[in-house]
Structure 1
């Protein structure tokens, strides 16, 4: 501690986008700082367990088989446009029924697409 009981600030860090500028907020310089609408907090996007159960129940009443293969086993209510991508969490038009296999395949492809998108926007 310095005289007077104050803890010194940490040394300034560089922008995580490796542009060489000093970071001002969130590890990024002013130019690379995220906009207010980008990458909403995961906490803002989460549905409660009760929400998920209600959505699943309502969706399976509307559509009781996998939209892709017709299976009626291990069904999931799937957001066509994922919530993380701006899809409406409670809109029936943004829901489809998928079996667990097709749901897993779609989710994996969406994660890969987002990863590629993140890499292509860096710099």
Structure 2
């Protein structure tokens, strides 16, 4: 189990976490080792452009929602460089990035899971 798998489990259980993911696939939105804050999300509320913590084909990513298919209840996850990771069910969307280096992300109001 990788670090993001452990983070996904904790966020799915209701924790808001701060951590420093590595990699360059989300530049310029998130640079490698920048501190991100991820909170539990109501997956029915995510929309294109949100940065989410989600599992796609057995791998957990902190990537963009690039499409939403409301009829099937799935979301498409992609990096910020044009690579599509794939489609996943809303049940596998665990959290939403609410801040990067302490700077709040836009459009997160009303999307956090409560309770």
Q: Which has the larger radius of gyration?
A: 1
Per residue, is there more strand in 1 or in 2? 2
Per residue, is there more helix in 1 or in 2? 1
Per the normalisation by structure 1, the TM-score is: 0.20
The one of the two structures with greater contact order (alpha-carbon pairs below 8 A, sep at least 6) is 2
Per the normalisation by structure 2, the TM-score is: 0.21
